[in-house]
Amino acid sequence: MTALCRPLPKLSPARYMLCLIGALLIGCSDGSDDPRSTLGVPGAGNPAVVSVPGAALEGPVPGEPVIVSTFFSLASLGYQRAEYFAAGTANAYVNRNEFKPDGRWQVQASDAADYKTRIVVMRPSDPADFNGSVVVEWLNVSAGFDSAPDWGMLHTELIRQGYAWVGVSAQKEGVDALNDGSAAALIPGADAMRYTAGGLLHPGDAYSYDIYSQIAQTLRNPPANTRPLGDLQVERLIAAGESQSADRMMTYVNAFAPLHALFDGYFVHSRLSGSAALQGGLFEEDVVGTPDVVRVRDDLGVPVMMLQTETDLFVLGSWPSNQPDNDQFRLWEVAGTAHADLYTFLDNRFDVGTDPSVAAVVENANPIPGIIECPVAVNAGPQHWVAKAAIAALNRWIVDGTPPPMAERLAVSGEPPAFELDALGNVLGGVRTPYVEAPIAVLSGEGQPQDPFNPEDRNFCFLSGTTQLFDAATLASLYASNADYISAVAASADDAVSKGFLLEEDAALIKTHAENSDIFAPR
């Protein structure tokens, strides 16, 4: 085998476009013997760490940033939003050792190129409200433009606990959509010419990892004249990425976390199969790829929290890469969830964290009419509730060393492997919530009758799972009365809180919605 792993034939362009699964590559051997206690720890003095420069910042840029995100007023919640341009010279990287599934990868810089991208900052207006932690999200470009799925799912917890959040346009697809105005066309009132004068520039996704590191360095050590977090005193940086960005995060954790040692923890959310290429990306030829089975390396010295939905295991192929928990890694697989659910598409946009109606289980096949219109009702399950508990657990793990609880994995058996279901049709095992413990529907991460390999179908319904409400006879077989249902929801919610899989504030909303509902009312 040569020093660079040689790529196997790529997956179909349609699947790469829709699922954004990295190309399959031949595995390679590791050779890493870095000390476990300091390998990826910021400021640990590991001699193997290569320092990166911070990006030069310009801003705050007047006006509103173009980003698919939440649409409510941040000011009313004591938060503010700003955008900054970030520029510098970034490196692409090649592998120094042969990549194997264990993730103990070594890389070195190769080509260099100039870039100019942007970051979006959401932060407490009052420094006294800041908890010291900054979530740095690798913005998702699955749809051809920047979106912030983790901000969308986590924001109510981030705001009530005083986190700062920074979204990074790390990839070329997102920057190009800003430059040509196509991203602005999706947001009513957005300025399509906002980025024309700024001259954003992205040399390609091979440089994305270094761009991300340079922005992290800037957040840790901001220039005196341009401070994107104002007077906030940063104590911790948490890297985060969901879906396509989770695959980038997998490669970042394994190759760059030990090299640059900038983050205190990692939130890997809904990863796909394998890992993103080291060189190559969306609509680019893979030059330096990664194996088709990739696990989080076990020698980082900083914690990694991974959250997976039902969809992720088989539809998106992550199941062969599953690994056991250890003292620096947790995997939570959440029962009754889909990769992109109703909350992701719709409910999060105006959720300020006080409305119990977001806990509703409803049948909605068209969450975004004209854009997301699916054959059957999409999943209305509990992903965002558990995601908030996961980020809270990760932050606590970083702050005081308290590890998150270990979670039972989703029940899988057979050949080919498939989920084990209860008598009602809901999956067994995994992180349990009232949605599957006191159910009123079958909630699945699978089941949309859509071909994910059809390049003409860009609405991503195959990622959205399904909701099928129980009929009256099934409800009557489960609950003697509506009060009985309310009691079952409360008991399940309290149990999930006690186990650490649900936050008390969110459990209260779920219970309140149950109390205000009548599951036996005519539909």
DSSP string for 399-438: HH--PPPP-PPBPEETTTTEE-B-TTSPBPBSB--HHHHS
pLDDT of residue 433: 98
Confidence (pTM): 0.92
Residue 356 tokens, joined: 């119990």
Pick from 446, 351, 432: nearest CA to 389: 432
pLDDT of residue 1: 25
Kindly report, residue by residue over 220-250, the tens digit of the pLDDT: 999 888 999 999 999 999 999 999 999 999 9
Pick from 203, 205, 184, 183: nearest CA to 283: 205
- One domain for residues 424 and 502: yes
Q: How is the beta sheet containing 329-333 ordered, strand by strand? A: 56-58, 79-95, 107-124, 164-168, 133-138, 236-242, 265-269, 304-308, 329-333
In a domain, 325, yes or no: no
Phi, psi of 304, rounded to the nearest 5 degrees: -125, 125
Residue 156 tokens, joined: 């109510």
- One domain for residues 108 and 230: yes
Q: Which residue has the tokens 């906002």?
A: 194
- One domain for residues 274 and 190: yes
For residue 191, the SS3 value is coil
**Letter for the amino acid at 280?**
G
Domain end among 270, 287, 302: 302
245 near 264, Cβ under 8 Å? no
Query: How many other CB atoms sit within 10 Å of the CB of residue 473?
Result: 7
pLDDT of residue 14: 35
DSSP characters over 215-239: HHHHHHS--TT--TTTT----EEEE
Domain end among 265, 284, 302: 302
Q: Give dist(CA 331, CA 268) in Å, integer.
A: 9
- One domain for residues 295 and 363: no
Strand 466-469 and strand 329-333: the pairing is unpaired
Note the helical H segments in 136-254: 149-161, 172-179, 208-220, 244-251
Domain end among 278, 302, 326: 302
Helical (H) or strand (E) element with 124:
strand 107-124
In a domain, 17, yes or no: no
- One domain for residues 376 and 282: no
- One domain for residues 42 and 135: yes
pLDDT of residue 473: 97
- One domain for residues 123 and 232: yes
pLDDT of residue 196: 85
For residue 266, the SS3 value is strand
In a domain, 335, yes or no: no
In a domain, 39, yes or no: yes
Phi, psi of 284, rounded to the nearest 5 degrees: -115, 150
* Count helices and strands in the chain by DSSP H and E runs: 13, 13
pLDDT of residue 3: 29
Q: Which residue has the tokens 């969830």?
A: 337
Q: Give dist(CA 497, CA 510) in Å, integer.
A: 12
- One domain for residues 387 and 287: no
485 near 519, Cβ under 8 Å? yes
Per DSSP, 205 falls in state G
In a domain, 346, yes or no: no
Strand 418-419 and strand 107-124: the pairing is unpaired
pLDDT of residue 289: 82
In a domain, 340, yes or no: no
- One domain for residues 260 and 395: no
- One domain for residues 429 and 523: yes
In a domain, 323, yes or no: no
Range of the domain at 38: 27-302
Over the chain (523 residues), what is each successive 10-residue block's mean pLDDT? 29 34 29 58 89 96 91 94 97 95 96 97 98 98 93 98 98 94 87 87 96 98 93 97 97 97 98 91 67 95 98 97 97 98 94 96 92 92 98 98 98 97 98 98 93 61 96 98 98 98 98 97 87
- One domain for residues 497 and 400: yes
Q: Give dist(CA 424, CA 428) in Å, integer.
A: 11
Q: Give dist(CA 278, CA 286) in Å, integer.
A: 8
In a domain, 247, yes or no: yes
Residue 234 tokens, joined: 């940063």
Question: How many Cα atoms sit within 13 Å of 442 on the Cβ side?
Answer: 18
Cα four-point dihedral sign 403, 310, 11, 240 = negative
- One domain for residues 383 and 268: no
455: left (phi over 0), alpha (psi -120 to 50) or beta: alpha
When divided into structural domains, the chain yields a total of 2
Helical (H) or strand (E) element with 389:
helix 383-400
For residue 134, the SS3 value is strand
Residue 41 tokens, joined: 């720890």
pLDDT of residue 17: 34
Pick from 299, 301, 213: nearest CA to 249: 213
Q: Give dist(CA 343, CA 388) in Å, integer.
A: 13
Query: How many other CB atoms sit within 10 Å of the CB of residue 402?
Result: 10
